[in-house]
Amino acid sequence: MSISSAQRGGAPVGFLSELDALEAASVIYLRSWCEGARGNDKMLSDFSSCLGERQGQHAMGAFEELCRLCAQFGRRPLMRHALNFKCLGSDEACFANFIGAAANRDRDDAMMIATLLVRSDMAPQITSLATDFGLALKRMNMSSRQATPRTSIRNLADGTFEIQPEAKTLH
Protein backbone atom coordinates (compact mmCIF):
# COMPACT_ATOMS: atom_id res chain seq x y z
CA MET A 1 0.00 0.00 0.00
CA SER A 2 1.43 3.35 -0.98
CA ILE A 3 1.53 6.28 1.40
CA SER A 4 -1.06 8.14 -0.67
CA SER A 5 -3.53 5.23 -0.58
CA ALA A 6 -3.01 4.84 3.17
CA GLN A 7 -3.86 8.51 3.73
CA ARG A 8 -6.68 8.70 1.17
CA GLY A 9 -9.31 7.88 3.80
CA GLY A 10 -8.37 10.97 5.78
CA ALA A 11 -8.94 13.42 2.94
CA PRO A 12 -11.44 16.07 4.03
CA VAL A 13 -14.72 15.80 2.14
CA GLY A 14 -16.99 18.03 4.20
CA PHE A 15 -17.87 19.18 7.69
CA LEU A 16 -19.54 17.40 10.60
CA SER A 17 -22.18 20.13 10.60
CA GLU A 18 -23.34 18.95 7.16
CA LEU A 19 -24.37 15.55 8.53
CA ASP A 20 -27.66 14.77 10.20
CA ALA A 21 -27.59 14.14 13.97
CA LEU A 22 -27.31 10.34 13.68
CA GLU A 23 -24.45 10.43 11.19
CA ALA A 24 -22.58 13.17 13.08
CA ALA A 25 -22.95 11.22 16.32
CA SER A 26 -21.58 8.07 14.64
CA VAL A 27 -18.45 9.98 13.57
CA ILE A 28 -18.01 11.60 16.98
CA TYR A 29 -18.35 8.23 18.70
CA LEU A 30 -15.90 6.64 16.24
CA ARG A 31 -13.39 9.34 17.10
CA SER A 32 -14.09 8.91 20.82
CA TRP A 33 -13.64 5.14 20.61
CA CYS A 34 -10.23 5.70 19.03
CA GLU A 35 -9.26 7.91 21.99
CA GLY A 36 -9.24 4.89 24.32
CA ALA A 37 -10.57 4.48 27.85
CA ARG A 38 -11.50 8.13 28.43
CA GLY A 39 -13.55 8.24 25.24
CA ASN A 40 -15.17 4.89 25.99
CA ASP A 41 -16.18 6.01 29.49
CA LYS A 42 -17.80 9.15 28.05
CA MET A 43 -19.63 7.11 25.41
CA LEU A 44 -20.99 4.64 27.95
CA SER A 45 -22.12 7.53 30.12
CA ASP A 46 -23.93 9.11 27.13
CA PHE A 47 -25.59 5.84 26.15
CA SER A 48 -26.63 4.96 29.70
CA SER A 49 -28.00 8.41 30.50
CA CYS A 50 -30.17 8.45 27.36
CA LEU A 51 -31.10 4.77 27.04
CA GLY A 52 -30.87 3.41 30.57
CA GLU A 53 -28.08 1.25 31.93
CA ARG A 54 -29.03 -2.05 30.25
CA GLN A 55 -29.73 -0.60 26.79
CA GLY A 56 -26.74 1.74 27.11
CA GLN A 57 -24.44 -1.21 27.73
CA HIS A 58 -26.00 -3.05 24.77
CA ALA A 59 -25.39 -0.04 22.47
CA MET A 60 -21.82 0.28 23.73
CA GLY A 61 -21.20 -3.43 23.22
CA ALA A 62 -22.53 -3.32 19.66
CA PHE A 63 -20.38 -0.30 18.86
CA GLU A 64 -17.23 -1.75 20.43
CA GLU A 65 -17.67 -5.01 18.51
CA LEU A 66 -18.36 -3.09 15.29
CA CYS A 67 -15.17 -1.05 15.69
CA ARG A 68 -13.14 -4.10 16.70
CA LEU A 69 -14.26 -6.02 13.62
CA CYS A 70 -13.58 -3.03 11.36
CA ALA A 71 -10.08 -2.83 12.82
CA GLN A 72 -9.45 -6.58 12.59
CA PHE A 73 -10.99 -7.30 9.18
CA GLY A 74 -10.79 -3.90 7.52
CA ARG A 75 -9.52 -3.57 3.98
CA ARG A 76 -7.13 -1.01 5.42
CA PRO A 77 -7.05 0.99 8.66
CA LEU A 78 -9.88 3.50 8.93
CA MET A 79 -8.57 7.03 8.92
CA ARG A 80 -10.14 9.48 11.32
CA HIS A 81 -9.65 13.03 12.39
CA ALA A 82 -9.09 14.27 15.94
CA LEU A 83 -12.15 14.49 18.16
CA ASN A 84 -12.33 18.28 18.02
CA PHE A 85 -11.87 18.68 14.24
CA LYS A 86 -14.86 20.11 12.42
CA CYS A 87 -13.90 18.61 9.06
CA LEU A 88 -15.07 15.19 7.93
CA GLY A 89 -12.71 12.67 6.37
CA SER A 90 -13.72 10.34 3.55
CA ASP A 91 -13.51 7.21 5.74
CA GLU A 92 -15.58 8.96 8.40
CA ALA A 93 -18.16 9.94 5.77
CA CYS A 94 -18.32 6.32 4.60
CA PHE A 95 -18.75 5.13 8.21
CA ALA A 96 -21.49 7.73 8.83
CA ASN A 97 -23.37 6.67 5.68
CA PHE A 98 -23.01 3.03 6.71
CA ILE A 99 -24.52 3.65 10.15
CA GLY A 100 -27.25 5.81 8.62
CA ALA A 101 -28.23 3.18 6.06
CA ALA A 102 -28.23 0.42 8.67
CA ALA A 103 -30.30 2.50 11.12
CA ASN A 104 -32.84 3.24 8.40
CA ARG A 105 -33.04 -0.49 7.69
CA ASP A 106 -31.70 -0.10 4.17
CA ARG A 107 -29.88 -3.41 4.41
CA ASP A 108 -28.83 -3.62 0.76
CA ASP A 109 -27.07 -0.25 0.83
CA ALA A 110 -25.62 -0.94 4.27
CA MET A 111 -24.20 -4.26 3.06
CA MET A 112 -22.71 -2.62 -0.01
CA ILE A 113 -21.07 0.09 2.12
CA ALA A 114 -19.87 -2.57 4.58
CA THR A 115 -17.89 -4.23 1.79
CA LEU A 116 -15.95 -0.99 1.38
CA LEU A 117 -14.95 -1.16 5.04
CA VAL A 118 -14.25 -4.87 5.63
CA ARG A 119 -13.84 -8.17 3.80
CA SER A 120 -17.07 -9.22 2.12
CA ASP A 121 -17.54 -12.26 4.38
CA MET A 122 -17.67 -9.91 7.42
CA ALA A 123 -20.22 -7.51 5.89
CA PRO A 124 -23.34 -9.23 7.29
CA GLN A 125 -21.94 -9.27 10.82
CA ILE A 126 -20.90 -5.63 10.90
CA THR A 127 -24.17 -4.60 9.22
CA SER A 128 -26.11 -6.27 12.01
CA LEU A 129 -24.00 -4.47 14.63
CA ALA A 130 -24.37 -1.16 12.77
CA THR A 131 -28.14 -1.62 12.75
CA ASP A 132 -28.19 -2.19 16.52
CA PHE A 133 -25.95 0.82 17.13
CA GLY A 134 -27.77 3.07 14.66
CA LEU A 135 -31.15 2.27 16.18
CA ALA A 136 -29.71 3.12 19.62
CA LEU A 137 -28.57 6.49 18.23
CA LYS A 138 -32.08 7.05 16.88
CA ARG A 139 -33.56 6.33 20.32
CA MET A 140 -31.04 8.71 21.89
CA ASN A 141 -31.99 11.42 19.39
CA MET A 142 -35.68 10.90 20.10
CA SER A 143 -35.15 11.14 23.85
CA SER A 144 -33.17 14.38 23.44
CA ARG A 145 -35.89 15.82 21.18
CA GLN A 146 -38.51 15.08 23.81
CA ALA A 147 -36.42 17.05 26.26
CA THR A 148 -35.77 19.89 23.78
CA PRO A 149 -37.75 20.29 20.56
CA ARG A 150 -34.68 21.01 18.37
CA THR A 151 -31.11 20.03 19.13
CA SER A 152 -27.68 20.46 17.63
CA ILE A 153 -24.22 19.11 18.28
CA ARG A 154 -21.84 21.73 19.68
CA ASN A 155 -18.04 21.47 19.57
CA LEU A 156 -16.63 22.56 22.96
CA ALA A 157 -13.24 24.21 23.50
CA ASP A 158 -11.82 21.15 25.29
CA GLY A 159 -12.38 19.00 22.21
CA THR A 160 -15.58 17.33 23.40
CA PHE A 161 -19.05 17.69 21.96
CA GLU A 162 -22.42 18.24 23.59
CA ILE A 163 -25.97 18.09 22.38
CA GLN A 164 -27.77 21.37 23.01
CA PRO A 165 -30.96 23.14 21.98
CA GLU A 166 -30.71 25.14 18.79
CA ALA A 167 -31.36 28.85 19.09
CA LYS A 168 -34.85 29.89 18.03
CA THR A 169 -34.92 32.23 15.06
CA LEU A 170 -37.62 34.07 13.17
CA HIS A 171 -36.66 32.41 9.86
CA–CA gap between residue 86 and residue 75 (Å, rounded):
26
Q: For the segment 106-151, what is each residue's pLDDT rounded down to a tens digit?
A: 999 999 999 999 999 999 999 999 999 999 999 998 877 665 444 4
Tell me the angle at which helices 53-73 and 123-147 cross, rounded to the nearest 10 degrees. 140
Beta bridge partners of 89: 12
Region of residue 101 (phi > 0: left; psi between -120 and 50: alpha; otherwise: beta) = alpha
Is 167's pLDDT higher than 70? no
In a domain, 2, yes or no: no
Is 27's pLDDT higher than 90? yes
CA–CA gap between residue 50 and residue 32 (Å, rounded):
17
In a domain, 132, yes or no: yes
**At 83, is the pLDDT very low, low, confident or very high (cuts 50, 70, 90)?**
confident
In a domain, 7, yes or no: no
Tell me the angle at which helices 123-147 and 107-117 cross, rounded to the nearest 10 degrees. 120
**At 171, is the pLDDT very low, low, confident or very high (cuts 50, 70, 90)?**
very low
In a domain, 6, yes or no: no
Cβ(26)–Cβ(57) below 8 Å: no
Cβ(51)–Cβ(59) below 8 Å: yes
Amino acid 9: pLDDT = 82
**Amino acid identity at 69:** L
In a domain, 79, yes or no: yes
Write out the residue range of the structural domain in which residue 144 sits. Answer: 17-165
In a domain, 100, yes or no: yes
**At 53, is the pLDDT very low, low, confident or very high (cuts 50, 70, 90)?**
very high
- Structural domain count of the chain: 1
Is 3's pLDDT higher than 80? no
Amino acid 104: pLDDT = 96
